[in-house]
Amino acid sequence: MNDLIITAGTAVSAMGRGVEATCQTLQSTRTTLQPDQFQPNGRGSIGRVSGIEDHTLPEALALYDCRNNHLANYALTSDGFLDAVIEARNHYGAHRIGIVMGTSTSGILSAEEAYAARPAGELTLPETFHYNTTQDLASLPHFVAARLGLTGPSLTVSNACASSTRAFIDAAHLITSGFCDAVVVGGADSLCRMTLQGFASLELIDPTVTRPCDATRDGISIGEAAGFALLERAGARPLSTTVSGYRLRLLGYGASSDGHHMSAPDPTGAGATQAMTKALKRAQLRPDDIGYINMHGTGSRANDAMEDKAMTALFGPHTPCSSTKGWSGHTLGASGILETMVCAIVLNQHFLPPCMNSTDIDPTFHSDMLLTHRHAAPQIVMNNAFGFGGTNSSLIVGTMA
Amino acid sequence: MIITINSIGVWGSGLNGWDATQAILRGEQPRVDDTRKLPPPSLLPPNERRRASQVIRLALLCAQEACQNGPYEASELPALFASSNGDGFIINRILDALASPMGAVSPSMFHNSVHNAPAGYWMIAHHCQQPAVSLGFHNETVAAALLKAATEASSEETPLLFCAYDAPIPGSLGTVRRTDQPFGCAFVLTPGAHAGPQLSLSLHNEVTETDPAIQLPVTLQDMARYNPAGRLLPLLHALAHHENHTLHLPYGQHTLTVELTHA
């Protein structure tokens, strides 16, 4: 690949604000999911970011006010990410830095509130509801562009739960084709009743708490997250000694479709295997080179079984893997950027996080799924994301050395 | 950056396929609004055929026509689906349900609500394992999607299915988002310059405001102005006339310039 590197990165989720807080959670066995009190009669658990309701946007960007952009702003102002982007902007120019955001539901919570506030029998929405700058898919990249003072090509990728993983691929295309020198890539998905009730209607919510890969796992716990990475070419500019988050190499990516079912993964894992295989091929790596896999690992019966099958087919039984959604919950379209930051932590802090909340790995699984923390110093790791519509993406990242 | 258009698919209200649409674009026939429901694409398995919403059908009819007339098997093509509104009918239904005390979100409605639902149905229809990306960028969706399609086709050195579609949103959301008539358009694209219509894309760091409806027959003008996918109509107009044409698409603080030539 064209030597693409991530020079800055950050994320917020129920695990914490910024990479250091996230790292501390990942090193612990602290419970970060909580009972769903986000909605009346909520069931199961959620990964809620505390303080989002009180977080405010800069006054000039008040039109963008919604939970999703609050979450985005919370992340943008973590880990010195703003300063890192300003440095890149000073070097490349604002118009040469693009923005590729992944989100599944953007600011739809604002529309939920606006619908609930309608007078009985009327269609008219309150004047305080601004569709374009909250619910529309373009809201997030427009907000990020305004917040960062960037004017390069922007777009939103909405590939369900693979959105911000797939966003890295689209960002790479913009750079390798020469339309951008750098791209702010990432995304945000925030709690809303549509996803909480939608997944409940599919009976995919664990009534207690999600337990990825466990024999008794019974569904997902939904979480919220936002995260960003600055993607650019290696060696294109001198980098400062102050690092926002961690620096890492984007070594490979692969995407595929299941072509099987809208809301259930192909049980053979063929599509997932293909995404991982393509990522290895692009990185010119063998399966043995991968030191850890951060699984999609949603905790649903079907996903984890499919993913185990796909990983085993490609890697055999000895590649350590885990899902960190037992801490964060399933952060949907934001899971890709969040878990890329988890991969950055793993690469730099020399430990592998286990499947939080899980006690007995499904006996039918064959992969090396972690139940306890393990000391290890992998140089290259993989991150998987699969979504509704049968959309699959895998990324391979490595240390800068 | 140059890409070649191999084939075209067009559906929309009163637009039933590329041949019929060409006659309308040439002014030989008027476009007449057609409120009849779109048929389910025959290539879907029975369950998916039953569940495919009108917006999904719109996207798939365009994609199907482009692939039927193109040089590649549909199952070989990576895909890019682009829409500003996504499935506004379903989003509005879900929002209404969430706002009513007894309302419940239906499972199939929820999985159809994801922006990449048409891509998912398309891949199921063709047992296709190629990648698909689903984009949205409000009124500039076509600019973002054309640029993205060209960069993907050239970076990955692959032909690609491009499909842009949008339809009006009913209910309360429709009061804050005007969209005129369902419209969709698909291209099979090959990177580089080959025989056939070619598009040369370049990005200019300045905003050029143009009226997308200029030169179009009157019955297509509102669609070009008020349907985000309708921004492709001036390009289709030039294609129907076998004319060269330069399209200026506003894209943030840039303009995406798309030069159509015929080789």
Q: What is the pLDDT of residues A115-128, one digit of tens each?
A: 999 998 899 999 99
Cβ–Cβ of B251/A158 closer than 8 Å? no
| Å between A205 CA and nearest CA of chain B | 13
A&B contacts, CB < 8 Å: 208
B127 to chain A: nearest residue by CA?
A: A259
- With contact defined as beta carbons under 8 Å apart, do B173 and A132 qualify? no
pLDDT of residue A25 exceeding 70, the answer is: yes
Distance from C-alpha of A275 to C-alpha of A266, rounded to nearest angstrom: 13
- Which residues are B190's β-sheet partners? B4
Give A-chain residues touching B114 at CB under 8 angstroms: 104, 158, 160, 387-389
Give A-chain residues touching B251 at CB under 8 angstroms: 153
Count of CB atoms situated within 10 Å of the CB of B117: 26
Confirm whether A161 is a catalytic residue: yes
- Which residues are A186's β-sheet partners? A101, A228
Distance from C-alpha of A62 to C-alpha of A66, rounded to nearest angstrom: 9
Distance from C-alpha of A69 to C-alpha of A189, rounded to nearest angstrom: 9
pLDDT tens-digit profile of A178-228? 999 999 999 999 999 999 999 999 999 999 999 999 999 999 999 999 999
| Å between B18 CA and nearest CA of chain A | 27
How many Å is the Cα radius of gyration of chain B? 18
Cβ–Cβ of B123/A390 closer than 8 Å? yes
Cβ–Cβ of B137/A137 closer than 8 Å? yes
pTM: 0.98
Give A-chain residues touching B148 at CB under 8 angstroms: 155, 170, 173-174
Distance from C-alpha of A125 to C-alpha of B153, rounded to nearest angstrom: 42
**Residue B54 is encoded by which pair of tokens?**
């009108």
Confidence grade of residue B100 (pLDDT, cut at 50, 70, 90) = very high
**Percent helix, strand, coil in chain B (nearest 5)?**
40, 25, 35
Give B-chain residues touching A270 at CB under 8 angstroms: 129
Per-residue pLDDT, averaged over A40-45, amounts to 91
Confidence grade of residue B173 (pLDDT, cut at 50, 70, 90) = very high
Give start and end residues of each alpha helix (H) in chain B.
18-25, 46-51, 54-68, 88-99, 107-112, 117-125, 141-156, 171-174, 218-226, 233-240
Cβ–Cβ of B135/A157 closer than 8 Å? yes
pLDDT at A34: 98
Of B42 and B77, more confident? B77
Give B-chain residues touching A156 at CB under 8 angstroms: 135-137
Cβ–Cβ of A262/B48 closer than 8 Å? yes
Amino acid at B129: Q
Cβ–Cβ of B123/A169 closer than 8 Å? no
pLDDT of residue B66 exceeding 90, the answer is: yes
Specify the DSSP element, H or E, that contains B82.
Answer: strand B79-82
pLDDT at B135: 98
A401, with CB counted inside 10 A (0-12, 13-18, 19+), is exposed
pLDDT at A1: 55
pLDDT at A41: 86
SS3 per-residue string spanning B217-229: CHHHHHHHHHCHH
Per-residue pLDDT, averaged over B212-235, amounts to 95
- Which residues are A248's β-sheet partners? A6
- With contact defined as beta carbons under 8 Å apart, do A387 and B116 qualify? yes
Domains of chain A: 4-233 (3.40.47.10), 252-398 (3.40.47.10)
Of A29 and B47, more confident? A29
Percentage of the residues of chain B whose pLDDT score is greater than 90: 88
Overall size of chain B counted in residues = 263
Confidence grade of residue A245 (pLDDT, cut at 50, 70, 90) = very high
pLDDT at B101: 86
pLDDT at A65: 97
pLDDT at B244: 97
Cβ–Cβ of B176/A271 closer than 8 Å? no
Confirm whether A296 is a catalytic residue: yes
Give start and end residues of each alpha helix (H) in A248-321.
270-283, 301-315
pLDDT of residue B208 exceeding 90, the answer is: no
Confidence grade of residue A2 (pLDDT, cut at 50, 70, 90) = low
Per-residue pLDDT, averaged over A78-100, amounts to 98
User: For all residues of chain B together, what is the average pLDDT?
Assistant: 95
Query: What per-residue string of b and e applies to A295-323 under the rule 16 or more CB within 10 Å gives b?
Result: bbbbbbeebbbbbbbbbbbbbeeebbbbb
Name the residue with tokens 């064209």: A2
In whole angstroms, what separates CA A301 from the centre of its chain?
A: 21
pLDDT of residue B238 exceeding 70, the answer is: yes
| Å between B139 CA and nearest CA of chain A | 9
pLDDT at A266: 96
Count of CB atoms situated within 10 Å of the CB of A50: 11
| Å between A148 CA and nearest CA of chain B | 14
Is the reported ipTM for this assembly greater than 0.85? yes
**Residue B34 is encoded by which pair of tokens?**
């057609």
Percentage of the residues of chain A whose pLDDT score is greater than 90: 97
B137 to chain A: nearest residue by CA?
A: A138
Per-residue pLDDT, averaged over A362-385, amounts to 98
pLDDT of residue A141 exceeding 70, the answer is: yes
Cβ–Cβ of B173/A131 closer than 8 Å? yes
Whose CA is closest to B229, among B83, B89, B54?
A: B83
In whole angstroms, what separates CA A205 from the centre of its chain?
A: 19
Query: Degrees (nearest 5) of the Cα angle A171, A176, A182?
Result: 55
Query: What is each CA distance from A383 to A170, A210, A250, in whole angstroms?
Result: 16, 19, 11
Domains of chain B: 2-191 (3.40.47.10)
Name the residue with tokens 């905003």: B207
pLDDT of residue A349 exceeding 90, the answer is: yes
pLDDT tens-digit profile of A271-283? 999 999 999 999 9
Q: Which of A66, A130, A330, A355 is catalytic?
A: A330
Residues 6+ apart with CB under 8 A from B62: B9, B10, B11, B163, B165, B184, B185, B186
pLDDT at B41: 85
pLDDT tens-digit profile of A107-117? 999 999 999 99
| Å between B159 CA and nearest CA of chain A | 15
Give A-chain residues touching B115 at CB under 8 angstroms: 104, 137, 158-160
**Out of A124, A136, A193, closest to residue B98 by CB:** A193
The single-letter DSSP state of residue B182 is -
Give start and end residues of each alpha helix (H) in A256-300.
270-283
